[in-house]
Amino acid sequence: MAVLLNAVYLKAEWQSKFKKHMTVDDDFTNAAGTKQIPIMVQIAGFDYYSDADMQMIVLPYREQKRFQPNGPRLSMYVLLPGSNVGVTRLLPKLDSKTLAAYRSKCQQQRVHLELPKMKLEYSTELKDTLTK
């Protein structure tokens, strides 16, 4: 019996930090309904793009040589579907080419950003992938 474990853990700081005193409890709505959760608030300059289908913002992490010694900066892309589109209609359109096209349209703008405080986790079975 062989066991392969892989864990990726990224503990990096945002280039433009969210201040703790700017985190407020507010309503957050998703498919399951609305509830009060902590929302991080920041007003700063970010690469941003919007059209009728969605809004996109690029949140760069602070440069850390141990993560990308010779490569591009790490960033999180956050997309918010337009109210007339919804996530189920936006997701099928997203592939690497489309995402790159959206990214190329981003321009530096002063943005009032409200982002839910979150913890992201993901797991998957690798058996099928590794036996191919």
pLDDT of the chain, 132 residues: tens digit per residue:
333 444 555 677 888 888 999 999 999 887 788 999 999 999 999 999 999 889 999 998 887 665 555 555 788 899 988 888 888 888 888 888 999 999 999 999 999 999 998 777 777 787 777 776
CA-nearest of 32, 26, 12 to 116 is: 26
Q: Which two tokens stand for residue 9?
A: 């853990």
80-to-38, 53, 124, 128 alpha-carbon distances in Å: 18, 9, 25, 33
CA-nearest of 31, 33, 28 to 88 is: 31
Task: Say what the pTM is.
Answer: 0.74
Q: HSE of 126 in the Cβ direction (CA atoms, 13 Å)?
A: 9
Residue 113 · residue 42 · CB < 8 Å: yes
Look at residue 67 and give its three-state secondary structure. Answer: coil
Residue 80 · residue 30 · CB < 8 Å: no
